[in-house]
Amino acid sequence: MHTIKTLLGLEFKSKFGSSGLKDKKAVIRLVVSLAFFALVIYFLYAGAKLIFGMFDVAGMARQALTLIFTLLFILFCVMGVSNTIKVLYYKGDNLILMRFPVTDGEVFISKTLFLLISQTAITIGSVVPMLLAYGVTVGVDSFFYAMIPAVIFFLIAIPYFISNVLAIPFMHLTNRIRNRFGLIIAMLAVFIAGMFACYMLIFSSIVTFLNDSSLTIFSGEVVDMIKGMTYYFIPTKYFADLLLKQEVYFAMPALIGLTGALGAGTVAVITKMYSKTLLKNVEIEGSAFKKITVNKPRPVFVALLKKEFIQIFRSVNYSFQYFVLACAMPVMVYFCNDIVTAIAKQSVGEQAAMGISILVMLIFATVITSFSATSVTREGNNFYQTKVLPVPIRTQLLSKFVIYAIVSFSATLICVTALAIAGYISALNALWLFGITESLALAMTLRSMKYDIKKPNFNMVGEGELVSNNTNTGLAMGFGFLVAIVMGLTSIFAAYFLTQTYMYLICSGLAVLIIAYCLLTFFYKVTKRYNAIVHR
């Protein structure tokens, strides 16, 4: 028992760092985290209230509850499988723990307790505000509130058991494709773009509802379809039944039976396969692929570019987020632009369209360029190589910049082309928009790189892999969002109060100023600062 407690403590420490409010910074961090948490809860409550209101007008409050439970259930299962794989099977500490006098059972129990506690916190934090929103919007009796703990219990237990049963097969699948980077990036890009498109379609419906909340946004056919579909959503419709006192005598035993069966399945999987899989995974984590190449001389700069590309492309934690976001950016820009332009045109006028496009494009460009805030520290333990090589630091930095520039150039070009083809902007405007957003994206890349050079944060995980986000990424995002807002609002106001020509002139001037600022701050003592970086 003592061992389990120690291991559980270690698990929490590795996830959240050392506990305690030792200094002012720790207190501020806690307050900010709590404020952020409260904000998320509020948004969940407000968002759920809006959705339940929308469905209630159409007489589908119960179906809305089932749909929300279904979405949460799928999300918890996906998160559960992913966390179970990470914590139980892939976490670097498995290798360390195996050397200590602790049993497989103790390691499993401590890790699974950690997963359960995390899942309980997430479930309560997300489900309670939504159910309260339902109660307030639709009007419910005390039975509804009394049943909330039971529903939360099932929402924790069932996804948890499903995750444990599915984790091993999923892990074997990912092990098979783990070195096929191109395939994974393509699959993730399609998945994220699809998810985003769905999300924006829902958002679009909400916008329509907000414009006239007395009307239902659902046609009769859609209402019938949703009602028919949700009837078959098992087991999630039982959660709604339980809360709304409908067929409780069937829903409750069904959920208990399902939990019991999945629990038994989990016990069987764990006892038969946990130890074996753990050992196999420790072995697989060090495995690598074979690639037969020939000795081929390349110019120095091309060699640097190739090295940069390999470092990003073959880094699981980093490249998947970077390339996947870049690939999905055009879809995101298209949908965002579509919805926000519709709102802005209604409230401001036709003149707002270009400003909105600039704002949206720059927000997504910021997300992409913020990755360059780890361009130097990503070298990790190989940072010494950059100092030892007979290549000027500026050339090495240029190679990093060019890699980011190629990605942002391609993403921006596709975005602008998509907007032009869809008819949101003319060809000439598209050219101007491309010039402005791409040059600002390049300037923001330089700014992000300088953040990394000025205050490098060599934070590694696993096999020397850099964690993708750190303070510098946050700073880069903050700067980018500020540029996006300033540029977007200037464009909207200039077009509204002055003329379109003035808008182009003012925005171009402002962009030149921002670019000049980024260039100056980047080149100011860049080599000196780089040479002053000391790592190991």
Partner 1 sequence: MLKIDNLYKKYLGSERFSVENLSLELNKGEIFGFLGKNGAGKSTTIKCLTGIFPFNSGTITICGHDISSDPINAKLNMGYVPDDHSVYEKMTGREYVNYIADIYRVSKADRDARLNQFLDKFNLQRAVDLQIKSYSHGMKQKICIIGALIHNPRLWVLDEPMMGLDPQSMSEILKKMREHCAEGNTVFFSSHNLDLVAKICHRAAIVSDGRLHSIIDLSVEENQKTLEETLWQ
Residues interacting with partner 1, by CB under 8 A? 286-293, 295-300, 302-304, 306-307, 310-311, 314-315, 380-382, 384-385, 387-392, 463-464, 531-532, 534, 536
Cβ atoms within 10 Å, residue 441: 25
- Report the candidate in 330, 530, 507 with the shortest Cα–Cα distance to residue 410: 330
What are the φ/ψ torsions at residue 290 (nearest 5 degrees)? -110, 135
225 vs 389 by CB, closer to partner 1: 389
How wide is the angle at C-alpha 116 spanned by C-alphas 113 and 122, nearest 5°?
Answer: 145
User: What is the closest distance, in whole angstroms, from the C-beta atom of residue 401 to partner 1 in the complex?
Assistant: 18
User: What is the closest distance, in whole angstroms, from the C-beta atom of residue 531 to partner 1 in the complex?
Assistant: 5
Amino acid at 101: P
User: What is the closest distance, in whole angstroms, from the C-beta atom of residue 291 to partner 1 in the complex?
Assistant: 5
Q: What is the DSSP letter of 298?
A: -
Could you tell me how far CA 345 lies from the centroid of its own chain? Answer: 30
246 vs 395 by CB, closer to partner 1: 395
Partners of 465 in beta bridges: 461
Partners of 460 in beta bridges: 466
Cβ atoms within 10 Å, residue 114: 21
* d(C-alpha 410, C-alpha 402), whole Å: 12
- Report the candidate in 391, 372, 383 with the shortest Cα–Cα distance to residue 299: 391
User: What is the closest distance, in whole angstroms, from the C-beta atom of residue 387 to partner 1 in the complex?
Assistant: 5
User: What is the closest distance, in whole angstroms, from the C-beta atom of residue 463 to partner 1 in the complex?
Assistant: 6
Torsion of CA 436, 437, 438, 439, to 10 degrees: 50
* d(C-alpha 153, C-alpha 227), whole Å: 26
446 vs 533 by CB, closer to partner 1: 533
105 vs 380 by CB, closer to partner 1: 380
* d(C-alpha 469, C-alpha 479), whole Å: 15
Contact 379, 393 (CB under 8 A): no
29 vs 314 by CB, closer to partner 1: 314
User: What is the closest distance, in whole angstroms, from the C-beta atom of residue 464 to partner 1 in the complex?
Assistant: 7
24 vs 536 by CB, closer to partner 1: 536
243 vs 312 by CB, closer to partner 1: 312
DSSP 200-243: HHHHHHHHHHHHTTTS-SS-HHHHHHHHHHHHT-TTHHHHHHHH
User: What is the closest distance, in whole angstroms, from the C-beta atom of residue 240 to partner 1 in the complex?
Assistant: 48
User: What is the closest distance, in whole angstroms, from the C-beta atom of residue 298 to partner 1 in the complex?
Assistant: 5
70 vs 319 by CB, closer to partner 1: 319
13 vs 394 by CB, closer to partner 1: 394
Amino acid at 55: F
User: What is the closest distance, in whole angstroms, from the C-beta atom of residue 325 to partner 1 in the complex?
Assistant: 20
